[in-house]
Amino acid sequence: MYDCKSRIATEFINDEEILDTLEYARKNKSNRALIDSLLERAKDCKGLTHREAAVLLECDLPDENEKMFQLAKEIKLRFYGNRIVLFAPLYLSNYCVNGCVYCPYHHKNKTITRKKLTQEEIAREVIALQDMGHKRLALETGEDPVNCPIEYVLESIHTIYNIKHKNGAIRRVNVNIAATTVENYRKLKEAGIGTYILFQETYNKKSYEELHPTGPKSNYAYHTEAMDRAMEGGIDDVGIGVLFGLNMYRYDFVGLLMHAEHLEAAMGVGPHTISVPRIRPADDIDPANFTNAISDEIFEKIVAVLRIAVPYTGMIISTRESQKTRERVLDLGVSQISGGSRTSVGGYCEPEPEEENTSQFDVNDTRTLDQVVNWLLGLGYIPSFCTACYRSGRTGDRFMQLVKSGQIANCCHPNALMTLKEYLEDYALPDTRQKGEALIAKEVQNIPNEKVRATAMEYLTELHHGKRDFRF
């Protein structure tokens, strides 16, 4: 039976409820009165239920779909302004004991090179990332209790936070590692991680079991209940996601929202972020083998409806997507993107030798971080390297309250400008610097609070004179 407060995976992600929801959405896909009323209500930015959002996703009325996209853009602007937060993934190890059929790190793959970074190698990678201008990382590892135990991950986090090279610093380390125990989540929290990220891949239990035939990840319940354990271990910022293209997108879309509703109902705080990756080619993986791949049009609609359904949850898109697709979804709802990414184990410090291949997927958007920053500036966005909330203790429900009330914008906007200023001073190429300075000069005037504006201007001057790391 469906129970969003239950701690049992098949009760809070209930197959019957999802199928019922999809049936309800199908029946109402042309119900103009209902769709209009949902769009009207969603204007209050309080979100929609999984059932309501499913109707919007299924809607086949072109004019209503147009209204939907417009509303997504308005909500995006209201909560996130024109800021886009930047981050980079750092792959520590690709040893894996699991048998996921869509990932080249699966344990049966004999053609991929297995690699695990030493602490010295991590330090070199981090210096290279700092020299690009990154401040926020997402750590990635395969699951392997022998080659990549929790102690290794903790030591790596410690190494990363302690590297101070020139003006560089990694100020927030998010972690994407396999589902683990409450005790291990507690250790990650103590190590000072930002968000704990774990993708469900698919919420459909039967498909999940087919896609994960062997290894600890094949346990659907243990994987699906991981965020509850993470929160029990004290991590209050968690990031969820599915790998679109593995299962029916409608099913996973509803599952994703039910997961968000469950976390809010049972644990008191919804997910900090939602990621929307689509399957990509990799070493022994051909996306053509996955027949549920979704088109760009559907992908854009998923982003737009998620934005309307969970306005206060950050949305992430990686370099799996092309520049063109990324550009289309930025104003529809995406608030964070990666830039200048390497998906190999190592590879920032020096490119991977040709005879080696350790990548999890082929990067689609291969531009450098400076090119990405320049592109965002050209589109009128403020590239932000802000990490202030977690460092100021604004996490979990404290963070959500600020976001839901809209007050967070008083921090995000000046912080975006100040971290962009740091980037321009320390790392930008001349054209990027010129565009960035012009944008800062214009945007600083848009800080509504007079006192905050004056302080931000003061800080910007100090940043120009060499001081670093101001935040609201």
Residues engaged in binding ligand SF4 (CB under 6 A): 85, 96, 98, 100, 103, 105-106, 142-143, 178, 217, 384, 386-389, 408, 411-412, 415
CB of 259 to ligand SF4, least distance (A): 18
Residue count of the chain, please give it.
472
Kind of pairing between the strands at 382-384 and 238-241? unpaired
Closer residue to ligand SF4, CB minimum distance, 96 or 235: 96
Closer residue to ligand SF4, CB minimum distance, 18 or 96: 96
Closer residue to ligand SF4, CB minimum distance, 242 or 388: 388
DSSP E strands in 212-335: the ranges are 238-241, 273-275, 314-317
Rounded to an integer, what is the distance from CA 259 to the centroid of its chain? 16
Closer residue to ligand SF4, CB minimum distance, 430 or 448: 448
Closer residue to ligand SF4, CB minimum distance, 39 or 414: 414
CB of 472 to ligand SF4, least distance (A): 7
Question: 16-25 burial, b if ≥16 CB within 10 A, otherwise e?
Answer: ebbeebbeeb
CB of 374 to ligand SF4, least distance (A): 20
Q: For 128, what's the count of Cα atoms within 13 Å in the CB-facing half-sphere?
A: 19
3-class DSSP assignment, residue 275: strand
Judge whether 131 and 167 are in contact, CB under 8 Å. no
CB of 238 to ligand SF4, least distance (A): 15
Closer residue to ligand SF4, CB minimum distance, 103 or 129: 103
CB of 22 to ligand SF4, least distance (A): 26
284: which 2 tokens?
Answer: 């022994």
CB of 124 to ligand SF4, least distance (A): 23
> Degrees (nearest 5) of the Cα angle 344, 348, 349?
125
With 0-12 / 13-18 / 19 or more C-beta atoms within 10 angstroms meaning exposed / middle / buried, residue 44 is exposed
CB of 106 to ligand SF4, least distance (A): 4
Closer residue to ligand SF4, CB minimum distance, 98 or 325: 98
CB of 416 to ligand SF4, least distance (A): 6
CB of 377 to ligand SF4, least distance (A): 17
Kind of pairing between the strands at 172-176 and 314-317? unpaired
Closer residue to ligand SF4, CB minimum distance, 168 or 277: 277
* Rg, Å, the chain Cα set: 21
The DSSP string of 72-109 is HHHHHHHHHTTEEEEEEEEEEE-------TT-TTSTT-
- Rounded CA separation 302/420 (Å): 30
* Closest by Cα among 431, 444, 421, 448 to 378: 431
Amino acid identity, residue 118?
T
CB of 311 to ligand SF4, least distance (A): 13
410: which 2 tokens?
Answer: 């008083």
Judge whether 100 and 212 are in contact, CB under 8 Å. yes
Closer residue to ligand SF4, CB minimum distance, 19 or 77: 77
**H/E run at residue 420:** helix 409-426
Closer residue to ligand SF4, CB minimum distance, 106 or 278: 106
- The residue assigned the tokens 């190590």 is 191
* Closest by Cα among 463, 439, 438, 422 to 132: 422
Closer residue to ligand SF4, CB minimum distance, 28 or 247: 247
CB of 187 to ligand SF4, least distance (A): 20
What is the sign of the dihedral through the CA atoms of 442, 447, 449 and 453? negative
